[in-house]
Chains A and B, each alone.
Chain A
Amino acid sequence: ETGVTQTPRHLVMGMTNKKSLKCEQHLGHNAMYWYKQSAKKPLELMFVYSLEERVENNSVPSRFSPECPNSSHLFLHLHTLQPEDSALYLCASSRDPSAAGTDTQYFGPGTRLTVL
């Protein structure tokens, strides 16, 4: 266990559904991240929050909406997704993103999302 938890672990949803992914970190870290991992592709950074402020948004479609109410919790709200959004969604946290180059990211177990 890395100290980063994610729920649900598996999610199947239709294109018209609205659902949310939850991430919680118990490491006292200041930054949290959402990544998308599709088969045979590198991890794609979606969003970065540092001290609850969004600092990175990598041209992610608006059907993905992040929320970071405090430094321990991160959500990814999903609505009107497409089948190509099916992937493993990983949450990560790190201590100090301002220490670029030395800040280690720790991953949660991921949510396997299937969009029908």
Chain B
Amino acid sequence: QKEVEQNSGPLSVPEGAIASLNCTYSDRGSQSFFWYRQYSGKSPELIMFIYSNGDKEDGRFTAQLNKASQYVSLLIRDSQPSDSATYLCAVYNQGGKLIFGQGTELSVKP
């Protein structure tokens, strides 16, 4: 079992829709969770992080964390073509290592 799992996609949504990206993790003791966005040929850039159960909103982005179910998700409201990228979920495990998922490719169609 992979420590951090994401559907590789591609996930295709129409412009203006809500994109929902999901991530599950295996280490129940994990405490903090990060979402990075990576455009093709570019490096990952931090979108947001979340530590506590529940929702955290930042502009059009909302991170949702459910530690009991060991999943974290990222919602993108009013999706734009410029949101088309690969989204990486990263989790700090109990050993203090930041483990990345393989990423979900998102395509927003005009």
Contact = CB atoms under 8 A, between A and B. Distances in A.
Given A43-B88, A90-B43, A105 B4 contact: no
* A contact patch SS: loop
Interface in B53-110: 88, 92, 96-103
Interface in B4-36: 4, 8, 31-32, 34, 36
A102 B32 contact: yes
A108 B38 CA distance: 12
A7 to B, nearest CB: 14
Contacts of B31: 101
Interface of B: 2, 4, 8, 31-32, 34, 36, 41-46, 49, 51, 88, 92, 96-103
21 contacts: A2-B43, A40-B8, A40-B102, A41-B102, A42-B88, A42-B103, A43-B44, A43-B88, A45-B97, A88-B43, A90-B44, A100-B96, A101-B31, A101-B32, A101-B92, A102-B51, A104-B49, A107-B36, A107-B43, A107-B44, A108-B43
Leading 3 A-B pairs by shortest Cβ distance: A100-B96, A107-B43, A43-B100
Given A104-B46, A106-B46, A107-B36, 4 more contacts: A88-B43, A101-B96, A102-B51, A107-B43
